[in-house]
Structure 1
Amino acid sequence: MSAQLSHAELPLETPFFFGRNGELFGFYHPSDDRARRAALLCPPLGQDYIRCHRLYRQLAHALAEEGFAVLRFDYFGTGDSAGSSDEVDWERCIDDTITAAAELRMRSGVKSVVAFGARLGGSLALAAAPDAGFADVVAWDPVIDGPAYVEELDELQAALRQDATRFTRPRRESDVEQQWTGFAVSGALRRQIQRLHLQPALSPSLVFDSLPETSKHRWPMREGGPTQVKPLAPTPWSDLHRLELAILSHPLIQGVTHHLRGAA
């Protein structure tokens, strides 16, 4: 076994723009010259994106130390990519994921790309998998029931609008009717997510499950299929009182790196 590079010895992550018109933003985390696999980290949307940002960076460093070339990126309308949050489109996010996979192959020279995604990031990775050519997908609480997820976000938004710990008086519904937890959302994206009933062509090899037992999230291919479901401590995705707190999970990072190390 070759010696691994320490965190301090790894090449620095490189920020850059890419895509047909340079409209997408990403961070490339190179490994050493012997990298044989690459990992694309597909972010979630909205508040989940903000709360998972640090975890994604930690995961990217952990995978780079394992010999993976890694790309973190932002879909059009999110993060540092072009566009605004009310321009986020589901099909465009899938296309951006495919574009990011091709960019990662070009930069790393590695053909075999695996993908990781949390919440809607996991759903997007699975939806993009056939055209992106992912060798594998690892997902963390992927959204598989769009109507239930939209209902969850609507309930959270309604509670947030009236939260006395944040506002001295309830905000008018008309002021926030096109928002989910502070992010503008178009009617088109809302309808696209409502139609989501995930039946991917590629089963993830591993799903991390940290949702309540009452959630409508049972992985549809877990019975008799290749997917391994690993429980984690509950993640407060929809906890109103923890909405601004970062979501961190060392067991998740360790679990992903251990799983992909064994598959490499």
Structure 2
Amino acid sequence: MSVMSVPQWLGPPGRRLFATWHGCNEPAGMTLVICPPLFHERVLGYRLFGLLAARLAAAGIACLRFDYYGTGDSAGDDLDFSLEGACTDIAIAVAAARAQSVGGGSVGLLAVRGGGWPAWSATVRDPSISHCWIWQPLTDGAEYLDALQRVDTAERTVRTNPPFCKAPSTSRDDGQLVGCACPESLRRELRDAQLPATNLLPGTSLGVLGRRNELDRATFATYRIELTESATQWADTLKVRATFLTKALTEPIDRLASVLLA
């Protein structure tokens, strides 16, 4: 199926979001909004999920990728990002995806790691979202925050200029976490974040993709697709490295497409 990628702006003037539409020239079987991960993982996974969106579009699933307000190429300052705001951004992206989809199929979400928290909330608030899938789900926000703080401490100890930091600093009081702005208000949101959260509406398709231990923890999901260790290592490092769609990645992506189009 022929695929087209179109960069665009979404949202009202006061909350402009940068996005890329991966559409199909023929009517799509459904439309998927990809909700990115948080902090440095957004940078590390950017290429991977661009390739994923293109492959899904070629299979007949139109995709919309976007940056949350205050992150990436979207408007706003780093300090403007919040989990609640990300939920608002997902609603904006869903409305835009629905308006652009050809064929009027269903609209679902594919959230990546920490993006699963606002995606879950958005699904609860919008009964028209038919699918909610989470790639390598994070079930406990406090555990995730602690893990980020350990990485941050280690990097500040061994490096004079940690990756992605805007300015060299060894102080934990500079408001940054793994090189990204993380004010106390965001830390509080993360400490309280849990999956599963409020129950989804009956009929919502809920699935996860992840390592075996991640699938074991995601007992809330109806569908599970296992990812090999080599397909998930992008989330375990601060190093920027290219991610290619090897067989370890194409097989689970194609399985996801089959489930979504069933």
Deviation at 1:123, TM superposition (A): 2.9
- Are 1:127 and 2:121 an aligned pair? yes
Indicate which of 134, 141, 146 corresponds to 2:141.
146
Question: Matches of 2:250 and 2:112 in 1, distance apart?
Answer: 12
TM-score by length of 1: 0.83
Indicate which of 82, 102, 105 corresponds to 2:75.
82
Q: 1:171 to 1:79 in 2, by over 3 A?
A: closer
Aligned residues: 247
Contact residue 78 and residue 84 of structure 1 kept, 8 A: yes
Question: Matches of 1:247 and 1:165 in 2, distance apart?
Answer: 27
Q: 1:162 to 1:156 in 2, by over 3 A?
A: same
Task: Give the structure 2 partner of residue 100 of structure 1.
Answer: 93
Question: Matches of 1:123 and 1:208 in 2, distance apart?
Answer: 15
The alignment-based identity, stated in percent, is 28
Question: Matches of 2:205 and 2:110 in 1, distance apart?
Answer: 9
More off after superposition, 117-126 vs 184-193: 117-126
Give unmatched runs, 5+ long, in structure 1: none
AA of the residue aligned to 1:104: A
AA of the residue aligned to 2:70: G
SS of structure 2 residue aligned to 1:17: strand
Task: Give the structure 2 partner of residue 14 of structure 1.
Answer: 6
Q: 1:127 to 1:252 in 2, by over 3 A?
A: farther
More off after superposition, 253-262 vs 135-144: 253-262
- Are 1:219 and 2:214 an aligned pair? no
Q: 1:178 to 1:52 in 2, by over 3 A?
A: same
Contact residue 18 and residue 25 of structure 1 kept, 8 A: yes
Indicate which of 191, 194, 197 corresponds to 1:194.
191
Task: Give the structure 2 partner of residue 162 of structure 1.
Answer: 157
- Structural RMSD (CA): 2.6
Deviation at 1:243, TM superposition (A): 2.8
Deviation at 1:32, TM superposition (A): 2.1
Deviation at 1:263, TM superposition (A): 3.2
Question: Matches of 1:50 and 1:15 in 2, distance apart?
Answer: 18
Question: Matches of 1:210 and 1:103 in 2, distance apart?
Answer: 32
Task: Output one character per residue of 1:171-193: Cα deviation in whole Å (capped at 9) or x when no partner.
Answer: 4315x641111111111111101
Deviation at 1:204, TM superposition (A): 5.7
SS of structure 2 residue aligned to 1:259: helix
Give unmatched runs, 5+ long, in structure 2: 163-167
Q: 1:86 to 1:56 in 2, by over 3 A?
A: same
SS of structure 2 residue aligned to 1:44: coil
Q: 1:204 to 1:247 in 2, by over 3 A?
A: farther
TM-score by length of 2: 0.83
Task: Give the structure 2 partner of residue 173 of structure 1.
Answer: 171
Question: Matches of 2:114 and 2:144 in 1, distance apart?
Answer: 10
AA of the residue aligned to 2:114: L
- Are 1:263 and 2:255 an aligned pair? no
Task: Give the structure 1 partner of residue 165 of structure 2.
Answer: none
Question: Matches of 1:59 and 1:98 in 2, distance apart?
Answer: 21
Indicate which of 37, 46, 51 corresponds to 1:44.
37
Deviation at 1:195, TM superposition (A): 0.4
Deviation at 1:124, TM superposition (A): 2.6
- Are 1:182 and 2:179 an aligned pair? yes
Indicate which of 33, 42, 51 corresponds to 1:58.
51
Deviation at 1:166, TM superposition (A): 5.4
